[in-house]
């Protein structure tokens, strides 16, 4: 899509900007005649580079003085006296000048001397600054050592004013409005260099006081590579110079726009002036974050910003990240947002939350076990609790959600060690298969959890009691993250832990024969962690993540009802509400192995409020054997819903 845009931009502006050469004028003759000009302090900085590469230009001070004779119809001649300063060494030079100012104020000046390999062409525009005449000029000298300089040349009287000495002072106030171009990628159509209208890519790696430099490559990352050096004046005049295979290509034109959208239209030039037809067009690659924000994928903004920073660097142009950033540069809109979304950590960082959601439900289901009454002196009881269900967290606040299928089984043993105390232990296995809810944040996570729990229940009175449980576990995680725009898939295996504890203070009231109500106050701590891991399979877009943790401490109240339908047959129901007093965020920090800064991905925060409910039907034979069917539900106002069905089997022995 961008190729069509930039090609059309070049073709359209070529027609719009083509015009006859400007007519001669006498408008500026009085200003130019017998005048003297100098470089003011803000623009004394210039840069020199070798004829083979602009990769590392050297700052120098350049004080250039002009002395003109009479001007006629905009034409003038004169002398140039320049002094370059590099460290403690000065390099003087002298040249002759011939120039022409057109009716629109555009200037072409030719500088010549016996020491030059070829004449130097200076291009510019007549200006007025603070009511005084000025001449905005840009130039580059060809040869084995190239110097480029831009300045607002000002007039002076040699009898009363001494121009400042050359100094390499990077005064950042000059052309400050274009500082944002540093670290930006651009698409460029330049048939003279590429041999076609297919766009190449440049990155402006540095910007100092109106000067920029960087690197470029040909279309589709072809073998054409080159370095560039130029200047952008405050009013957007651009002198663009590129060295490719030892050949200098110099273009001149304009830049318009801002950090969101900008374009340069450039033309060739010679001693005859600027060509009437543009020969190159550049379009800024729009910051990825803008497309991501427009698509409503807030979780991907940090990653988008990192990727764009890489795209504006040499790493993103010719380094390890080049295949990814060049592919992203070809995308826009929703397609770009989806591509960036696929680079996020699995489930957009919500992996530990999804694991915690499944284990909270497991705890609720297993908690049903503590409601069973033990007969005094009863031997050990073994119990088995297979369960399965689903959970969903819908997208929230521009952050993607997830959904999962869960399945597990818990096996335990407990014993009434006294009339008032029951102790037990349990082992649980739980499997979660979760996937991203949105197409622009794909990925899947499978978690195998192995939990060991210890629990107990003590009577505080004839009807009141306290239940306590502790659980520890390990989680084996397998993450898979398809990256469709690159045709790759990132994957990782890593471990984590689970720790939990719960308290329930309850009291029972008989409402009618066979009908018992049990209100309770509850508190439950749960922590799920994930160790740092590094992915494989996606090349430079593989992620290296840091340790991540999710914690919650909901406190609340619930009410359980039990009704004896018939001897040995009970119908039960419960409902409750809790409020989490801990921060529910679970940020994950990751970085691309191909390069770029680390970034933080924030999953949608869970609501502090959680509602629980359940129904059950059980039967027993009066001999310590029972069978029950249960349905449990958890939900929050933030779009979280978890459902589970389970089968309970008890056997006393």
Tokens representing 224 are: 């054409």
Nearest CA among 325, 328, 352 for reference residue 338: 328
Tokens representing 454 are: 């210890």
For residue 370, the model assigns a pLDDT of 64
HSE (CB half, 13 Å, CA atoms) of 320?
Answer: 10
Residues 213 and 204: their CA atoms lie apart, in Å, by: 6
Q: Are 368 and 616 in contact (CB under 8 A)?
A: yes
Residues 43 and 397: their CA atoms lie apart, in Å, by: 48
In three-state secondary structure terms, 553 is coil
For residue 372, the model assigns a pLDDT of 59
Which stretches of the chain score pLDDT less than 50? Answer: 1-7, 9-23, 376
Q: Give 151's strand partners.
A: 137
Q: Are 226 and 214 in contact (CB under 8 A)?
A: no
Q: CA angle, corner 348, sides to 344 and 352, nearest 5? A: 125
For residue 220, the model assigns a pLDDT of 78
Global model pTM greater than 0.85: yes
For residues 486-501, b (16+ Cβ closer than 10 Å) or e, as one string?
A: bebbbbbebebebebe
Burial of 372 (0-12, 13-18, 19+ CB in 10 A): middle
In three-state secondary structure terms, 647 is strand
Q: Are 481 and 493 in contact (CB under 8 A)?
A: no
The neighbour count for residue 622, using CB atoms within 10 Å, is 8
Chain segment 372-410, per-residue pLDDT in tens: 555 545 578 899 999 999 999 988 777 788 999 999 999
In three-state secondary structure terms, 535 is coil
Burial of 440 (0-12, 13-18, 19+ CB in 10 A): buried
DSSP state of 602: -
Burial of 23 (0-12, 13-18, 19+ CB in 10 A): exposed
For residue 376, the model assigns a pLDDT of 47
């Amino acid at each position: 899509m961008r190729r069509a845009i930039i090609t059309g931009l070049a073709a359209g502006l070529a027609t719009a900007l083509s015009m006859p050469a400007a007519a001669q004028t006498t408008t500026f003759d009085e200003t130019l005649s017998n005048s003297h000009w100098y470089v003011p302090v803000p623009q004394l900085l210039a840069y020199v580079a070798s004829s083979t590469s602009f990769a590392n230009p050297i700052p120098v001070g350049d004080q250039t003085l002009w002395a003109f004779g009479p001007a006629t119809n905009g034409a003038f001649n004169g002398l140039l006296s320049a002094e370059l300063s590099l460290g403690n060494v000065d390099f003087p030079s002298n040249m002759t000048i011939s120039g022409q100012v057109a009716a629109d104020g555009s200037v072409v000046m030719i500088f010549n001397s016996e020491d030059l390999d070829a004449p130097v062409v200076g291009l510019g525009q007549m200006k007025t600054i603070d009511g005084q005449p000025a001449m905005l000029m840009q130039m580059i000298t060809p040869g084995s050592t190239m110097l480029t300089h831009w300045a607002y040349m000002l007039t002076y009287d040699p009898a009363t004013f001494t121009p400042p000495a050359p100094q390499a002072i990077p005064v950042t106030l000059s052309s400050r409005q274009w500082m944002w171009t540093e670290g930006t990628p651009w698409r460029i159509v330049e048939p003279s260099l590429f041999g076609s209208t297919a766009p190449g890519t440049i990155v402006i790696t540095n910007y100092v006081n109106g000067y920029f430099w960087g690197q470029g490559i040909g279309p589709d990352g072809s073998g054409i590579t080159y370095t560039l050096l130029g200047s952008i004046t405050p009013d957007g005049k651009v002198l663009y110079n590129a060295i490719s295979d030892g050949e200098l290509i110099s273009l001149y034109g304009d830049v318009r726009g801002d950090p969101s959208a900008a374009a340069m239209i450039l033309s060739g030039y010679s001693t005859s002036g600027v060509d009437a037809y543009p020969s190159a067009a550049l379009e800024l690659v729009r910051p990825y974050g803008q497309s991501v924000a427009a698509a409503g994928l807030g979780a991907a903004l940090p990653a988008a910003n990192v990727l764009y920073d890489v795209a504006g660097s040499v790493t993103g142009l010719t380094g390890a990240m080049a295949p990814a950033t060049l592919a992203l540069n070809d995308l826009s809109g929703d397609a770009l947002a989806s591509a960036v979304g696929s680079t996020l950590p699995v489930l957009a960082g919500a992996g530990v939350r999804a694991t915690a959601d499944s284990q909270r439900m497991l705890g609720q289901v297993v908690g049903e076990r503590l409601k069973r009454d033990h007969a005094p002196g009863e031997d050990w009881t073994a119990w088995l609790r297979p369960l399965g269900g689903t959970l969903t967290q819908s997208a929230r606040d521009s952050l993607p959600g997830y959904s999962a299928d869960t399945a597990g089984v818990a096996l335990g043993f407990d014993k009434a060690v006294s009339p008032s105390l029951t102790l037990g232990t349990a082992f649980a296995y739980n499997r979660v298969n979760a996937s991203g809810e949105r197409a622009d944040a794909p990925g899947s996570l499978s978690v195998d959890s192995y939990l060991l729990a210890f629990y107990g229940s003590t009577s505080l009175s004839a009807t009141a009691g306290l239940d306590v449980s502790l659980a520890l576990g390990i989680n084996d995680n397998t993450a898979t993250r398809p990256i469709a725009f690159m045709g790759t898939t990132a994957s990782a295996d890593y471990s984590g832990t689970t720790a939990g504890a719960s308290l329930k203070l309850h009291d029972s009231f008989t409402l009618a024969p066979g009908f018992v109500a049990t209100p309770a106050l509850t508190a439950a701590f749960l922590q799920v962690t994930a160790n740092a891991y590094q992915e494989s399979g996606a090349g430079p877009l593989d992620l290296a993540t840091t340790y991540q943790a999710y914690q919650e401490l909901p406190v609340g109240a619930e009410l359980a009802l039990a009704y004896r339908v018939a001897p040995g047959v009970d119908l039960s129901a419960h409902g409750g509400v809790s409020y989490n007093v801990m921060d529910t965020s679970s940020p994950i920090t990751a970085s691309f192995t191909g390069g770029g800064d680390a970034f933080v991905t924030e999953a949608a925060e869970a609501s502090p409020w959680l509602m629980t409910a359940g129904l059950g039907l059980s039967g027993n034979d009066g001999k310590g054997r029972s069978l029950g069917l249960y349905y449990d539900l958890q939900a929050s106002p933030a779009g979280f819903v978890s459902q589970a069905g389970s089968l309970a089997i008890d056997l006393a022995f």
